[in-house]
Amino acid sequence: MTRSYSGSVWAMLTPAVALIGVFILLPMALTLWLSLQHWSTQTGFQTARFIGLDNFFEIFGPTSVGRDFKGAFLNTAIYTALSIVLILPLSVGLGLLVHQRHVAGGSVLRTVLFSTYMVPMIAVALVWSKLYSPTEGPFNQMLGWIGVGPQPWLSSPDTALVSIVFLNVWQQVGYFTVLAIAGLTQIPHSLYEAARIDGANAFQQFYAITLPLLRRTLLFSAVIAIINAVQVFEPVALITQGGPVGSTNVLTYHIRRVGIERAQGGLGSAMAVMLMLSLIVVIFALFALARRKDDE
Amino acid sequence: MKLAWTIKCALAAGVMALPTAAWAEPVNISYLTHWAPETVALLENAAKEYAKTNPDVAVTVRAVPFGDLLTTLRSQGGDSEGATIAGIYDLWLPELARDKLVAPAPDAVASEVKGAWPAGIVSAASVGGTLYGIPNEIDVYALNYNKALFSEGGISAPPKTWDELKDAAAKLTKKDAGQQGFGMINSWAAGVVHPFSSLLVSNGGDLVVDGKPALDSKAAGETFQLYEDLITAGVTDPAMGTADANTTGPFLDNFVSGKTGMIIMANWWESALKAGMGEKFSDIGTAPIPVGPSGDKPRSISYSWMTVVNAGAGEAEQKAAWDFLAWLNSPESGPKGASAMADILMSMGILPSRSSDVEALKDRLGSDFLSGYVSVLADAKPFPVVLGGQEFSESLQQTIEALQYGQVSAKEAQANAQADAVSILERAAQ
């Protein structure tokens, strides 16, 4: 009986495990193996030559390979951090606005907010590159109305990455607002009534009830937002090509340039492994932090 | 018995007819390019013309933005499903040939090309003496200047030396009106590196000598210094020089709208300038690259493009592709003794490289805009086509952009550029 039960468990698990193995674990293992090889992407795996950790030494070394990788890594980290810092509070704020039952047109506002998420990135990139145009762009024209001089936006290494972050926030905030609204609907209304009877004002209700009970939603939003931000590619490829002076050269774009355009498969794989490891560390740290808060 | 013999004879006839049937089968070939839709339409028309005498060969054209061309080649190029023919930049050839993504030209095509194109162009389409592509365009750089702005600034002639360049740039700069004297491009590797390299060769220098980087030379140091001088004088604004994935963007916008007095750009921008300026295109003048203190005469770098055939394509597709390309580039395919390819190229202001095309199209090449480019062809120096060339180019772009934005001094830029180039070319040669 036990043997039969065990057999059926394996029979049921095998398809799922096999699929995960073939489509997730195998490519990850292959990337890890390739990161230890000298290999041109355009040739078969049989041409790969084992070079140990040389690719990793190279990407953290003092040459242009190392400098470009470290620059792209830093750009990705800044882009991700700024995106999270802007998206999460905005999504909660907009979620609270839209969630208010007595606000007229709430569902229309919800649809409008979510619609930005559905616009294809190519259209977003085309429109935003014109909005940011230093000479004829509407943003600079609007700034001119309030006496602020023209900003370089995408044309300066000091502002280009932040400009791409704004574009990302605009496109993604609607999606995260919907997640925030979903979280808000799970909070019992009776808690707010009890708080009001106890004399709590709106801010106290927000900090004592809303924020703590939204923690799981925010954790999920943060994880998804981090993964989305780390994978940023299209706006860079379509608008800035990593420039000026590499200021918008993010890791996915750089890995594509190294691994595909230059066919340096080993180096590109080493960079992909570092990206994967960093993502794992950040996500685990986030969960650990959330667990500690839960324990408290 | 009679029936059995009849069946045997029919089978034998069928077997004999098989090879003929296989040749008669239609062949589909595809052509990957980065050309704009109006140019793609011209290529499609040429393919239709070819199909009149070759009804079994169907040519389809796939177009991607320039910024995606190499990636598309790399990701699909060597596959049987990839494009059969691709237009490529000569800098990419050594690595595509090393990775066996492109097929060597058949003997007949190779001997035709060697006889009909200048030796330097043939050499840029070859690796180790083997020809891999049929060359089509050659590009050189010249100074483009806005004659109306020159007139307003009281400048009577385009600058011939670097000192005159600095002087003219200062006179053309009107910061309050958002006008810069000299435009420097950024965010596009070739767009950044080629004008710099043209100033370098006009100063008697070279990027690479005998396969080794030569950016530590006095001539290179003076070229980096020229950039620093123009930046510190405020006559060029890097924020006005950004390009996008289609090689357009603010850099082009500022020049066509009269916000930039001078730029250094290649001949193929003629179509973009015409589209952006309309009737005001006649305001644009072309002059040779100003000569630096260590230079002897105006020079430019040159680079070429060619069409290659996918080594992963089937035998019939490869054969049909070479046949189509040989026809497309032959004097029989276009008007008045020019090739159809030359006709397509000229629609964009691009100089054809086949000797017979240059002769057949000499009237059109003598236009105000193009004659300035044709005049520098003889003294042009080919951009070095070496393994690691693309990475070298992108690395130099980063250094020049850092100089443009004031992140490094001219001396630091020169040292960084040389060190990076040595490391990149040594690694690529391994």
Ordered alpha helix ranges (H), B25-172: 37-53, 66-76, 93-98, 107-116, 119-124, 147-152, 162-172
Q: Give the pLDDT mean for B220-240.
A: 95
B62 membership: H or E segment, kind and range: strand B57-63
Do the chains contact at B401 and A129, CB–CB below 8 Å? Answer: no
What confidence score (pLDDT) does residue B18 get?
Answer: 41
Q: Is A239 on the interface with B (CB under 8 A)?
A: yes
Longest CA span, chain A: 82
Strand partners, A40: A264
Do the chains contact at A152 and B239, CB–CB below 8 Å? Answer: yes
Look up residue B24 and give its DSSP letter: H
Judge whether A223 lies within some domain.
yes
Do the chains contact at B398 and A240, CB–CB below 8 Å? Answer: no
Amino acid at A80: T
What confidence score (pLDDT) does residue A107 get?
Answer: 75
Judge whether A29 lies within some domain.
no
Judge whether A21 lies within some domain.
no
Could you tell me the sign of the dihedral formed by the alpha carbons of B30, B31, B36, B41, in that order? negative
Q: Is A236 on the interface with B (CB under 8 A)?
A: no
Please name the member of A237, A256, A263 whose beta carbon is closest to the beta carbon of B95: A263
Would you put residue B247 in left (φ > 0), alpha (ψ -120 to 50) or beta?
A: left
Q: Give the pLDDT mean for A101-128.
A: 81
Distance from CA of B391 to the nearest CA of A (A): 7
Question: How many separate domains does chain A show?
Answer: 1
Do the chains contact at B253 and A245, CB–CB below 8 Å? Answer: no
Distance from CA of B133 to the nearest CA of A (A): 19
What confidence score (pLDDT) does residue B242 get?
Answer: 84
Distance from CA of B186 to the nearest CA of A (A): 6
Q: Residue A228: name the closest of A10, A80, A48, A65 by CA.
A: A80
Q: Is A205 on the interface with B (CB under 8 A)?
A: no
Judge whether A55 lies within some domain.
no
Q: Give the pLDDT mean for A166-185.
A: 93
Rounded CA separation B14/B21 (Å): 10
Q: What percent of chain A has pLDDT over 70?
A: 98
Distance from CA of A22 to the nearest CA of B (A): 22
Amino acid at B253: D
The answer, yes or no, to whether residue A295 has pLDDT greater than 80, is: no
CB B171 within 8 A of CB B155: yes
Q: Mind listing the pLDDT tens digit for each residue in A185-198? A: 999 999 999 999 99
Q: Domain containing A238: what range?
A: 64-295
pLDDT band at B408 (very low <50, low <70, confident <90, very high): very high
Domains annotated for chain B, with CATH where assigned, are 27-138+303-368 (3.40.190.10), 139-302+378-429 (3.40.190.10)
Give the 3-state secondary structure of residue A119: coil
> CA-nearest residue of chain B to A150?
B178
Rounded CA separation B171/B155 (Å): 8
Do the chains contact at A43 and B99, CB–CB below 8 Å? Answer: yes
CB B144 within 8 A of CB B283: no
What confidence score (pLDDT) does residue B430 get?
Answer: 76
Judge whether A267 lies within some domain.
yes
Look up residue B182 and give its DSSP letter: E
The answer, yes or no, to whether residue B41 has pLDDT greater than 90, is: yes
**Residue A70: its chain B contacts at CB < 8 A?**
none
**Residue B398: its chain A contacts at CB < 8 A?**
64, 68, 245-246
pLDDT band at B80 (very low <50, low <70, confident <90, very high): low
B247 membership: H or E segment, kind and range: none
Rounded CA separation B258/B239 (Å): 16
Q: Give the pLDDT mean for B65-77.
A: 80
What confidence score (pLDDT) does residue A92 get?
Answer: 94
Judge whether A73 lies within some domain.
yes
Q: Give the pLDDT mean for B66-70.
A: 82
Judge whether A46 lies within some domain.
no
The answer, yes or no, to whether residue B64 has pLDDT greater than 60, is: yes
> Looking at per-residue confidence, does B216 or A152 come out higher?
B216
**Residue B242: its chain A contacts at CB < 8 A?**
154-155, 240, 243-244
> Looking at per-residue confidence, does B338 or A41 come out higher?
B338
* CA end-to-end distance (rounded Å), chain A: 45
pLDDT band at A3 (very low <50, low <70, confident <90, very high): low
Q: Give the pLDDT mean for A123-136.
A: 85
Distance from CA of B125 to the nearest CA of A (A): 19
The answer, yes or no, to whether residue B107 has pLDDT greater than 90, is: yes
Q: How far is CA A198 from CA A59, A190, B381, in A?
A: 59, 12, 84
Do the chains contact at A129 and B244, CB–CB below 8 Å? Answer: yes
What confidence score (pLDDT) does residue B11 get?
Answer: 46
Do the chains contact at B253 and A133, CB–CB below 8 Å? Answer: yes
Give the 3-state secondary structure of residue B260: strand
What confidence score (pLDDT) does residue B110 get?
Answer: 95
Distance from CA of B176 to the nearest CA of A (A): 12
**Residue B387: its chain A contacts at CB < 8 A?**
none
A92 membership: H or E segment, kind and range: helix A64-99
Q: Give the pLDDT mean for A61-81.
A: 95
Judge whether A230 lies within some domain.
yes
Torsion of CA A11, A16, A20, A22, to 10 degrees: 60
pLDDT band at A135 (very low <50, low <70, confident <90, very high): confident
> CA-nearest residue of chain A to B239?
A155
ipTM above 0.95, yes or no: no
Look up residue B305 and give its DSSP letter: E
Q: Mind listing the pLDDT tens digit for each residue in B24-33? A: 578 999 999 9
What confidence score (pLDDT) does residue B23 get?
Answer: 41
pLDDT band at B16 (very low <50, low <70, confident <90, very high): very low
pLDDT band at A167 (very low <50, low <70, confident <90, very high): very high
Do the chains contact at A245 and B257, CB–CB below 8 Å? Answer: no
pLDDT band at B17 (very low <50, low <70, confident <90, very high): very low
Average pLDDT over chain B reads 89
Do the chains contact at A135 and B257, CB–CB below 8 Å? Answer: yes
CATH code of the domain covering residue A93: 1.10.3720.10
* Lowest-pLDDT range of A103-107, B312-316, B387-391: A103-107
What confidence score (pLDDT) does residue A278 get?
Answer: 95
Distance from CA of B430 to the nearest CA of A (A): 11
Radius of gyration of chain B (CA): 24
Q: Mind listing the pLDDT tens digit for each residue in A221-262? A: 999 999 999 999 999 988 888 989 999 999 999 999 999 888
pLDDT band at B6 (very low <50, low <70, confident <90, very high): low
Q: Which of A39, A40, A41, A42 to mutate to test the interface with B (most CBs of B within 10 A)?
A: A42
What confidence score (pLDDT) does residue B22 get?
Answer: 41
Do the chains contact at A263 and B402, CB–CB below 8 Å? Answer: no
> CA-nearest residue of chain A to B99?
A42
**Residue B64: its chain A contacts at CB < 8 A?**
none
Would you put residue B234 in left (φ > 0), alpha (ψ -120 to 50) or beta?
A: left
Q: Is A41 on the interface with B (CB under 8 A)?
A: yes
Q: What percent of chain B has pLDDT over 70?
A: 92
Q: Is A64 on the interface with B (CB under 8 A)?
A: yes
CB B142 within 8 A of CB B172: no
Rounded CA separation A69/A61 (Å): 9
Q: Which of B76, B89, B92, B242 to mutate to test the interface with A (most CBs of A within 10 A)?
A: B242
Please name the member of B74, B395, B404 whose beta carbon is closest to the beta carbon of A64: B395
The answer, yes or no, to whether residue A153 has pLDDT greater than 50, is: yes
What confidence score (pLDDT) does residue B415 get?
Answer: 96
Do the chains contact at B99 and A40, CB–CB below 8 Å? Answer: yes
Q: Is A80 on the interface with B (CB under 8 A)?
A: no
